[in-house]
Chain A
């Protein structure tokens, strides 16, 4: 077990290193550095050139790329992502602000997905080929093919604009500060509805199909037949014997999708004016804000690696047959 963890940690570090190198060089290759963008408004050519050089020096862009990379890693080791090139604020502060909006929507949508899709998946597996199974799976399949930003546009158009039922810009209404605590909560909740729905409905089909599929495979196993043969109640057979054994692939699926949900969706957050990580990333790309882009890339990669690692470890907890010794 310990050797497995160690081995995974080492390969993970190597991968992280690769990711940071690749993203660093891709970003540096971008024509038009932040200094250039920030000085493009200055009319006087001589002044512009002087400020440009000074900015480059300030940002450390005048040094060779490997030196810049070494500096970046050096700061990263002590947990410092540097300051934004755009507004001079700490990158960690910017990310900290954007983290909660994205994280809260992601977790909310994730919980909703599991709560809704698990019973659907189990039920349609039990009534395989029945009316419920077919109608629900067709319906969910259609939903699954609706891209989330397409749904977002339609929801904004109808629920937000035409029928004026729900807010769709940002997290808070104007005058939020003057509201009572209860009013603030209600306001926040309203703002969460549309964007959370957009993050959730696609996964719904995916997860319930996935749960159904795995359960169907497990139900055919001999030990389920044995459980039924010895007179166990259907409820116990399905929930205790079958469902728990179909959990392993579900965990790996969660491990695969969770980091990407955490990364937020650039389009959705931009569309809903949601102050999350996806929008921060998009704005940083537009502003060539290297430190913020690098930090976001790095954190996402770290999340992907970390969560897959945790998912791999949980296999052992769920399924004692899996051994980590090779």
Chain B
């Protein structure tokens, strides 16, 4: 009660929306499979974020020649831009090429706390195309890099592409969807036609055609996926806005003299968000899939950087000698897609009022 009162005071009309999400969350928690999906998503996210201290060629913490260093932790923190000036206890004497693995000397009293996977994603650690062993649990790839380490760092690519490309798609989709749905008339006609045109292409064709004029990189993949996938969200948002525009509370707000921009942002959009969220969740799964596919074709992440798609590709290129790279990448892609689908399905069940009426 007390917390509700405070949010009331600070955010004005927000408690209604908040309680709506609160209810949604409570319903969501009742779905076992949805929760499993959400947990897997959370794990993937954690693996991606913690990748520098999960798989790194440098230790988390070590004592070297009398001094303490924590290179892997520094890598972790440096993922956040602007922190490189604050935390720098990475290598002694600020030597950029210093390698703890080589310089390590137990007789001097050196010791180290290594990351769970002791190899970096680009580190050439062993014989090429070696099968799984106690040192390299998933074997090595054609350059002798540890596959498990590359899988861990490939998670970063997948999560980044999934979330950021859908972020772009959501922003574009909501803006154009709201304009089309609320303004109607010429704007609606033009936008709807445009959406129809874009949807006439198989998305992958379009993405390939567009990517051909950018140098292949993960950023370009993200942007292009975002630019091609907003139309579905725009269509969703437009439909929702059209529906909500006619509700009594929208009419009430309008008759109170709320200006159009405020009406859309404060009253219409928050109520249109739930269905959009469902399609975003599925969209993340699709983006991850597209990224892996593009990387497989050579249009995405470029070697030596790791992505699930490039790992799958190296497995394909060495089918007869090193099939061991294929199953891990397949499992990872499958798990990611499955868990996002589970979350999306559960969300849809949870927020579709028609289904609740049936259940009650």
Chain A interface (Cβ < 8 Å from any Cβ of B): 14-15, 18-19, 22-23, 26-27, 29-32, 141-142, 144-147, 149-150, 153-154, 156-157, 160-162, 259-260, 263, 265-267, 270-271, 281-282, 285-286, 288, 293, 296-297, 300-301, 304-305
Contact = CB atoms under 8 A, between A and B. Distances in A.
B225 to A, nearest CB: 15
A19 B201 contact: yes
B139 to A, nearest CB: 14
Contacts of B200: 15, 19, 300-301, 304-305
Interface residues of B, number: 36
A266 B208 contact: yes
A263 B316 contact: no
Contacts of A296: 205
Contact of A282 (B194, B297, B323, B334): B297
A265 B201 CA distance: 13
Contacts of B330: 150, 153-154
Contact of A161 (B199, B296, B323): B323
Contacts of B131: none
Given A154-B327, A300-B202, A305-B200, A27 B338 contact: no
Q: Name the 6 nearest CB pairs between A and B, nearest first.
A: A145-B338, A30-B213, A263-B202, A301-B200, A18-B197, A304-B200
A161 B193 contact: no
Q: Tell which of B205, B285, B327, B330 has the most Cβ of chain A within 10 Å.
A: B205
A149 B209 contact: no
A144 B342 CA distance: 11
Interface string B180-209: 000000000000011011011110110011
A161 B319 contact: yes
A23 B209 contact: yes
B24 to A, nearest CB: 22
Nearest to A286: B212
Contacts of A145: 285, 334, 337-338, 341
Nearest to B316: A153
Interface string B267-286: 00000000000000000010
Given A145-B334, A147-B334, A297-B201, A267 B296 contact: yes
Contacts of B334: 145-147, 150
B30 to A, nearest CB: 17
Contacts of B93: none
A162 B323 CA distance: 9
A300 B201 contact: yes
Contacts of A265: 204
Contacts of B319: 156-157, 160-161
